[in-house]
Amino acid sequence: MGKVLSANLGYPRIGEKREWKKALEQFWAGKITKETFLETVKTLRLSYLKKQKELGLDLIPVGDFSLYDHVLDTAVLFGLIPDRFRTDEKEVSLETYFSIARGSKNAEASEMTKWFNTNYHYIVPEISNDTKPYLTSNRLVELFNEAKEAFGIVAKPVIVGPITVLKLAKGYDQDHFRTLLDALIPLYVQVLSELQAAGAEWVQIDEPILVKEQTEEDLALFQDTYKAIKNGVPSLNILLQTYFEAVDDYEKVVQLPVDGIGLDFVYGKEANLAAIKAFGFPKEKVLAAGVIDGRNIWKTDLSTVLHELKTLLTFTGGNDKLWVTPSSSLLHVPVTVSNETELDPVLLNALSFADEKLKEIVTLANGLNEGEAAIEAALQKNSADLQALQQSAHRNNKEVQKEISRLSDELPARPGSFKLRQQIQADTFKLPPLPTTTIGSFPQTKEVRQARRNWRKGEWSEEQYEQFIKDETAKWIQIQEDIGIDVLVHGEFERNDMVEYFGEKLAGFAFTRFGWVQSYGSRCVKPPLIFGDVSWKEAMTVKESAYAQSLTKSPVKGMLTGPVTIYNWSFVRDDISQADVFNQIALALKNEVRALEEADIRMIQVDEPALREGLPLKEEKKAGYLHDAVYSFRLATSFVNNDTQIHTHMCYSEFDEIIETIDALDTDVISIEAARSHGEIISAFEDFEYKKGIGLGVYDIHSPRIPSVDEMKSYAERALKVLDPKVVWINPDCGLKTRRPEETIPALKNMVEAAQEVRNELSNRVGK
């Protein structure tokens, strides 16, 4: 019968204490040489392999490690390089690789967007109709050999599949899809053939696009593609891996000509399990059962999952046809709980990060292979740890639960229509056409970060730190006035992160020391843990906003993070509904909005950049999510007076499918990105008459380059072809926290100049 294997789908890149991030940024800053950088990341990469081997894992991945992004790696592997970055050299240099991701002095970076419905962002491959893919160099063979030579590991190479790569790419006409796919397939076969020659036994090909809706034509493409790949490498075992949801076309997917199928039994549990029970599973194939949550940080209920795995075993061709895996790559969770020493033990004992999840996988595989008695002690401790958290006071706040139970089904509504509010606010603020503003944060310089460290370590008093924040705020209020920005912000120098800052001040949240995850490139975030009932304790932002407003006659925006973004950018309890957590956060934020309004802050921005990120992958689930998102946003904001202007901000969003939801938020102004997508996002407003205020992100803040006046004007001018000038604002596409002052100030000067030139052109047209 063989044995059940333990397998990983992908491991975090960043290191236990973000060593990967630090090496990247030192290299980009010219502080270490290319050789030192490559040696540093190799050392890290090998340490991850060693750790997985020592944990007892049967199948360890390679190819999951990346210097920036795994989708970019795949595009570069097959020569899918944007024309503006092409050189005569076959291989893609490290400099070119990073330029595609980050931009250069002469070329804009490639677009970045979210990886399905996660908080990870990938670089979108750019392909033209006449792109001719080619194999640049087989990086996977190098990584496979590295693992074998260093530790004797016969690794499982991982690569994003050809159909997912092309479906996520942009720039080509759809009628060229098959031509491009046919050009890619032989290259995949070449990569796989070379891996087989090197000694690989299994290769994991990720096709997460399969969990989205597929047409008959799509399914036929999968059949043709994997038939061609399998014919090309008939004796190499191929695992076709899906994740983040269930597959709709289960019967056809499991019959694809591959040797194993990976299914998500966490986020696609009900549908995938029902499908297996209804239709069985091919006895000759391996089922890679993703039963450990690859995206959240709670311990698995081992007894329950062990029972589920025993059920799955009845449908496989034997123990050797079942693998225990995470539901997805562990890229989305922190590395290890072992460095967390300051958390409430009740919470700490319920946590499981990447290393702990791999231990859970090994434990479950052992339980199946050796019998439940062999893991009885682990099962008992696991059950006690989970029960202790569930019964704690943190999850039993009767006052919060009563408030949630009293909420009406009717959507909260503003006291006046947008048309009425627009006129009142125009009279109140007296702003010029195309008013300029920024999204909220200004550069978090090393001085700002050092000041925060000094304060947190107790080396600075509360008074010292508060004075420092005041000084930074005053400096940047003056800079904004000198530049000529119309609506100012206080700069958020007191905030470490737009979600963490609020979580630290609300009940129901906890924070790790080293619970970092990669968001994009070297940008890492440390999501809060929403582990209990959420409630407001005291004003969180009023002091800083009111101080900034006291320094200027221009309006200063109060800055909050919205309930859906706080939810989506946190690790969230999974014992109550998503809607209930949304609304707990919204009720807390409602108190903060009220406090800002009472302090005479008349513009309040409640950012929801992650609203679309949480959009379910299944069509039938989207309407419910969007309704709950709108409800919670309006619960937090709709009670304000008509002369209080509510702003929000969204980024990385393809707005076409949620444009009605954006309208339903009933904000006075929404700011969006337009630069990173090269203005393409404006097309969402061509078919929908959007009448509320809209701020155009004409400046891509994710790149160090300083955009020209003409470049920013072009985005504004494109937008004005479909939007009424009376509702358009001009702003960067996101906060400026990660940029340096010497990049930020000239870019904002150019932005203000661009806005003024467009104003003048509009005025001249009216004059004629």
Q: How many CB atoms lie within 10 A of CB 687?
A: 9
18 is in an annotated binding site: yes
673 is in an annotated binding site: yes
613 is in an annotated binding site: yes
CB-side neighbour CA atoms (13 Å) of 289? 28
Determine contact, residues 114/518, Cβ cutoff 8 Å.
Answer: no
Question: What is the distance between the alpha carbons of residues 124 and 75, in angstroms, rounded to a whole number?
Answer: 9
Position 105: which residue type?
K
Q: How many CB atoms lie within 10 A of CB 674?
A: 27
Q: Which of 121, 394, 490, 702 is catalytic?
A: 702
Determine contact, residues 568/610, Cβ cutoff 8 Å.
Answer: yes
460 is in an annotated binding site: no
Non-local (6+) Cβ contacts of 720 within 8 A are: 728, 758, 762
649 is in an annotated binding site: yes
705 is in an annotated binding site: no
Question: What is the distance between the alpha carbons of residues 497 and 482, in angstroms, rounded to a whole number?
Answer: 27
119 is in an annotated binding site: yes
Rounded to 5°, the CA angle 153-155-158 comes to 160
Non-local (6+) Cβ contacts of 283 within 8 A are: 316, 317, 321
Q: What proportions of the chain, in percent to the nearest 5, are helix, strand and coil?
A: 50, 15, 40
524 is in an annotated binding site: yes
Query: Phi, psi (5° rounding) for residue 174?
Result: -60, -30
Determine contact, residues 418/558, Cβ cutoff 8 Å.
Answer: no
**Length, in residues, of the chain:** 768
90 is in an annotated binding site: no
Is 702 labeled as catalytic in the residue annotation?
Answer: yes
Question: What is the distance between the alpha carbons of residues 35 and 597, in angstroms, rounded to a whole number?
Answer: 55
- Six token digits for residue 178: 């098959």
Question: What is the distance between the alpha carbons of residues 439 and 672, in angstroms, rounded to a whole number?
Answer: 10
557 is in an annotated binding site: no
Determine contact, residues 52/8, Cβ cutoff 8 Å.
Answer: yes
Residue given tokens 């460095």 in the structure block: 339
Question: What is the distance between the alpha carbons of residues 752 and 481, in angstroms, rounded to a whole number?
Answer: 11
Partners of 729 in the β-ladder: 695
558 is in an annotated binding site: no
DSSP assignments along 168-201, one per residue: H-BSS-GGGHHHHHHHHHHHHHHHHHHHHHHT--
523 is in an annotated binding site: yes
146 is in an annotated binding site: no
Query: Which positions make up the binding site for 5-methyltetrahydropteroyltri-L-glutamate?
Result: 18-21, 114, 119, 523-524, 569, 613
Residues in the annotated binding site for L-homocysteine: 439-441, 492, 607
Binding residues for L-methionine: 439-441, 492, 607
* Active site (catalytic) residues: 702
Point out the annotated binding site for Zn(2+): 649, 651, 673, 734
Residues of each annotated binding site: 18-21, 114, 119, 439-441, 492, 523-524, 569, 607, 613, 649, 651, 673, 734
